Amino acid sequence: MNEGMARKYGFHTLAAGWLALFCLFGYRAIFAILKDPMATELGWSSAEVSLGYSIMMVLYALTSLACGKICDRWGARPAYFLGAILGALGFYGTSLMSSYYAYLIIFGIIGGIGTGMLWMSATVSSRQWYVGATFGKKFALVFMGGPMAQILLSLGVRHILASGGGDAWRLAMKCLAAIILVFLLIAALIVKKKPETYGLKPFGEAPVPAGGRSIQSYPWRLGQAFKTLPVWAILLVFLTSMLGEFLIWTQIVSYWRQDLNMSLDAATYMFILIGIVGIFAIPLYGVFADKVVQTIGSEAKGRKVAIFIAVVIGIVACVLLLLQRNANALGYVAAVAFAVYWGAVPNGAVGYCGAIYGRARLGTIWGTCTLIGNGIGPFTGSFIGGYLADVSGSYTYSILFAMGAFIVAGIIALLLPLSVKTPEAVEKAN
Best-predicted range by mean pLDDT among 164-168, 181-185, 265-269, 292-296?
181-185
The average pLDDT across 111-117 equals 90
Do residues 222 and 358 touch, judged by C-beta distance below 8 A? no
Q: Residue 18's pLDDT is what?
A: 95
125-137 pLDDT, tens digit each = 988 888 877 888 8
Question: Which range (225-239, 257-271, 392-406) has the least confidence?
Answer: 257-271
Q: Residue 161's pLDDT is what?
A: 85
Per-residue confidence at 207, pLDDT binned at 50, 70, 90?
Answer: very low
pLDDT above 70: residue 32: yes
Q: Residue 335's pLDDT is what?
A: 84
Q: What's the pTM value of the predicted model, to 2 decimals?
A: 0.73
Do residues 365 and 221 touch, judged by C-beta distance below 8 A? no
Do residues 147 and 213 touch, judged by C-beta distance below 8 A? no
**Whole-number CA gyration radius for the chain:** 21
> Domains in the chain, ordered, with CATH?
3-197+220-420 (1.20.1250.20)
- C-alpha distances (whole Å) from 45 to each of 77, 93, 256, 268, 385 are 39, 21, 18, 21, 12
Q: Residue 330's pLDDT is what?
A: 85
pLDDT above 50: residue 212: no
pLDDT above 70: residue 110: yes
Kindly report the average pLDDT of the chain as a whole number: 85
Q: Residue 215's pLDDT is what?
A: 57
4: Cβ contacts below 8 Å, ≥ 6 apart? none
Question: Which range (52-66, 167-181, 204-218) has the least confidence?
Answer: 204-218
Do residues 268 and 324 touch, judged by C-beta distance below 8 A? no
332-352 pLDDT, tens digit each = 888 888 888 876 887 788 889
pLDDT above 50: residue 209: no
Best-predicted range by mean pLDDT among 117-121, 281-285, 359-363?
117-121
- C-alpha distances (whole Å) from 6 to each of 11, 197, 210, 293, 412 are 9, 11, 26, 24, 38
Q: Residue 358's pLDDT is what?
A: 84
pLDDT above 70: residue 206: no
Cα–Cα distance, 375 to 243 (Å, whole number): 10
Q: Residue 346's pLDDT is what?
A: 77
The average pLDDT across 165-183 equals 89
Q: Residue 419's pLDDT is what?
A: 87
Please compute, for residue 160, the number of CA atoms within 13 A of its CA located in the half-sphere on the CB side. 20
- C-alpha distances (whole Å) from 331 to each of 26, 243, 266, 271, 405 are 23, 21, 11, 10, 20
Q: Residue 104's pLDDT is what?
A: 92
420: Cβ contacts below 8 Å, ≥ 6 apart? 228, 229, 230, 356, 357
pLDDT above 50: residue 210: no
The average pLDDT across 79-85 equals 95
Q: Residue 307's pLDDT is what?
A: 93
267-322 pLDDT, tens digit each = 878 877 877 887 788 788 888 888 888 888 888 899 999 999 999 999 999 999 88
- C-alpha distances (whole Å) from 43 to each of 70, 157, 189, 257, 339 are 40, 21, 42, 19, 33
The average pLDDT across 50-72 equals 83
222-233 pLDDT, tens digit each = 888 999 999 999
Cα–Cα distance, 159 to 156 (Å, whole number): 5
Cα–Cα distance, 297 to 267 (Å, whole number): 43
129-141 in b/e form (b: 16+ CB < 10 A) is bbbbbbbbbbbbb
Q: Residue 182's pLDDT is what?
A: 96
In this structure, is the dihedral angle defined by the CA atoms of residues 30, 33, 34 and 39, taken in order, positive or negative? positive
413-424 pLDDT, tens digit each = 999 998 888 887
> Which of residues 7 and 184 earns the better pLDDT score?
184
Best-predicted range by mean pLDDT among 141-150, 194-203, 303-312, 365-374?
303-312
Task: Please return the burial class of 172, using the count of CB atoms within 10 Å of its CB with bins 0-12, 13-18 and 19+.
Answer: buried
pLDDT above 60: residue 120: yes
